[in-house]
Amino acid sequence: MATGKLYFLRSCPGLFYLHLLLIAVLVIFLVVRELVFHWEDRRFHRQKWYPPLLSSIVCGGASAFAWQSFTRRYPSTAMKAAFWLSPILTVAVSFLLISFGFPGSLAAGFLSLIFAVIQSLYGLWVNPRVDYSARIFSYSISSSSSSSSTTSFVILSIFTGIVYASFLVAGIGEATAMGAEIDFVFILVILLSLAWTMQVIKNISHVTMGRIAFMKLMSGIDFKPQVALRNAIRHSMGSICIGSILVPVFGTIRDSARAVNLLGGDTDEFMFSCTHCFSNIASNLVMHGNRWGFILVGACNMGFVQSSGRTWDLFRRTGIVPVINYDLTSSFCFLSGVAVGAICTIVAGSWTLVIHKSYATEVSIYAFLIGYFISRIAMVWPQACVSAYYVTYAEGPQIDDFDSTIIQDCINWIQRHNLA
């Protein structure tokens, strides 16, 4: 059984690289097909489709890096600002989509408006937790503060995401130009590749930054980003590729279970039974895949499933699972991604609305997705720092100046208010 797991772990990077090769072949095929057979087709105006989308991608990269830099310098302010900035930008996107006047854009606009309301209500609900999250956010980032080489690594990660997204946009554009049924399948495949590859880029950064932050917090050792990155690519690509699939899926299930728990309550016996069953499934899944596992993947070269299990077991034994649930770092990173995605949508959608209205809806949606993923790559640095802080606390730090009172104060507050 262990041999089978090891073989699967070692084969995952090969599958990922094979997928990259096949996607590259597909994109090149789509571009060459249009160049040879359909370049003179006037139904699709490339000069009106590509510039807005490509410009929004560059704008997204710049916005993501600027927001990440602001977060590093003013973490507490950034944490609080994200919970009102994201809903405002989402409302702006919804009005823009509605203004297009197409059935698809109207549906997307109303969904965006509902999403903005949900974000606003969520921000009001979690407002009491913002101060604690901002406090731990500030300490984690300042305690594992980095060198200029780490900043260069972040820029490289964002640039890689921009280049890959721009390459895929070429395939999406040429498939859109052809417009056959099979081309819609090609677009879906390309978007799935975009999601997985962006997750892999993000998690390479997570493992790299997590190792740097963990070694700093645990032992006071300054680890070079170049060494951490090389080790991540050489020894942990299998775990990163697996984790890039499992973490979004398991995380969504876990968050859904927590939401159902809150809504279900214990007034109805059948509902209580269903929510309890769902919670048990989510609890078992998180043991086999969670984002905190990436820290030990980088620090100890563990397999992803093994490191996730060990990390969650440490959290349970030290009693900080309620604190993990109380923290808003993941919500902050998600809302940051939504905000940058909304900026990309506003840039691409407004431009397309002026020059060729019929392209506006699809270009806006593509811009949002790409902007969201690029932002998540940029925000993985502070997220990795916070994850490393929790893992260090659970492992037991080996330096005297590690501040464990932040978590202890939160545990005491949760126990006093029966929030566990």
pLDDT in tens, 145-198: 666 677 888 899 999 999 999 999 999 998 988 878 898 999 999 999 999 999
The pLDDT-based confidence of 45 (bands split at 50, 70, 90) is confident
Position 267 pLDDT exceeds 60 = no
The per-residue pLDDT for 262 is: 67
Higher pLDDT, 392 or 257: 392
**Per-residue b or e along 119-135, where b marks 16 or more CB atoms closer than 10 Å to that residue's CB:** bbebbeeeeebbebbbb
Position 5 pLDDT exceeds 50 = yes
CA 170 – CA 167 distance, rounded (Å): 5
Residue 418 Ramachandran class (φ > 0 left, ψ -120 to 50 alpha, else beta)? left
CA 291 – CA 298 distance, rounded (Å): 12
Range in 133-137, 219-223, 347-351, 363-367 the model is least confident about: 219-223
The per-residue pLDDT for 147 is: 62
Q: How distant, in Å, are the alpha carbons of 61, 141, 370, 382 from that of 68?
A: 11, 12, 17, 8
Position 75 pLDDT exceeds 50 = yes
The per-residue pLDDT for 1 is: 47
Higher pLDDT, 181 or 361: 361
Position 278 pLDDT exceeds 80 = no
Percent of the chain with pLDDT over 90: 52
Which 8-state DSSP code applies to residue 46? H
Q: Which two tokens stand for residue 340?
A: 């940058």
The per-residue pLDDT for 273 is: 66
Q: How distant, in Å, are the alpha carbons of 290, 313, 410 from that of 216?
A: 22, 23, 23
Write down the number of H helices and E strands in the chain: 17, 0
The pLDDT-based confidence of 397 (bands split at 50, 70, 90) is confident
Q: Where are the beta strands (DSSP E) in 205-358?
A: none
The model's pTM: 0.92
